[in-house]
Chains A and B, each alone.
Chain A
Amino acid sequence: MRDETPDARRQTPHEPAAALFREVLSYADDNLVLAQRLSGWVASAPDLETDIALANIALDHLGVARALLAHAGEIEGRGRSEDDLAMLRSEREFTNLLLCELPNGDFAHTITRQFLFDAYQLCLWELLSAHSGATLAGVAAKAIMEARYHFRFSSSWVVRLGGGTDESHRRMETAIGDIWRFVDEMFEDDPNRRASWSRLIDPVLAEATLEKPAQVHQRRGGRQGIHTEHLGHLLAEMQSMARSYPGVAW
């Protein structure tokens, strides 16, 4: 749990290591879990070009996750590697946003999840590229380039699916309806960020002729390690080799 305000945390020259460790780990987990989800589209996408695009995005998220996991391990100072953190923590120790662990569903669900998260990360990396910690700032500065491209890609599909056929519009409405209750969690750290996020997504939804759902009861808990039932299965698969053959090199 955060015991400092977000702004104070960023301006303090000497971060309490534990809080920073938890923060960096949560961003790592977002990207790791989402990379795992996205890579499920490989060899299954609607067309070849989209297959290649989704794999690119998955690799970007995985790259960010690895950089942040390594950094988290350094901060922690107990010698845990990126793989120790990824493969040996339990579900209750993962602190990703619930949004990231949602199943792929159909392409509309995947694109909606991506779109909402891309806008969130775009705002986040912008903020973190001014972080007092050089490593985190560096990761953020690189990640923001990728996030811009991801947002362009996911926005482009939101518009095409929203404004395409009756069926694609209907599927997008369903996807937004299913996913909207995981949105608020993105801003529980910093409600101020929601305004910039809305400024990014609103015009796109408008162009896509899609509406934001009315007030929906929001699910939370990811940052506290209280997940949906999806994460357990995701981790069981992702961690299966490391847990079956503990301590060996691959």
Chain B
Amino acid sequence: MTYSVPKVAGEAEMTVGRDEATSQWPMWEVFIRQRRGLSHVHVGSLHAPDAETALMSARDVYTRRVEGVSIWVVPSTEIVASDPDDAEAFFGSIEKPYRHATHYEIPDEVGQM
């Protein structure tokens, strides 16, 4: 369901009150292998106090409709991400056309290659 909540005139801008946050459950990223032969795919995140609970919650939250044969849960803090500022340097020079089959011309008479 999708809702818009209009802003009331004079309403204070949302401020993040860290002192109000109770000791919360850490966040976990969830990966699911839907069927044998497929890779695990990231499906989302959830909060759980520990790994066993995270696994069970992942099953309850993310496999209600989608089949799953294997679930991985990883504490979100363990994910190491590449820096978007480095994206150009990191990924930019990946283009090496000679890695791709289409770079090569093989006469049709040779057959499927």
Contacts and interface: CB of A to CB of B under 8 A. Distances in A.
B57 interface: yes
B52 A49 contact: no
Interface residues of A, number: 11
Interface stretch (B41-49, B76-84, B87-95, B96-104): B41-49
B25 interface: yes
Contacts of A52: 57, 60-61
Contacts, number: 27
Contact of B56 (A47, A48, A156): A156
A49 B61 CA distance: 7
B64 A49 contact: no
Contacts of B57: 49, 52-53
A142 interface: no
Contacts of A149: 56, 59
Interface of A: 47-49, 52-53, 56, 149, 152-153, 156, 160
Given A52-B60, A53-B57, A156-B53, 18 more contacts: A47-B25, A47-B47, A48-B47, A49-B48, A49-B53, A49-B60, A49-B61, A52-B57, A52-B61, A53-B56, A53-B60, A56-B60, A56-B64, A149-B56, A152-B56, A156-B56, A160-B49, A160-B53
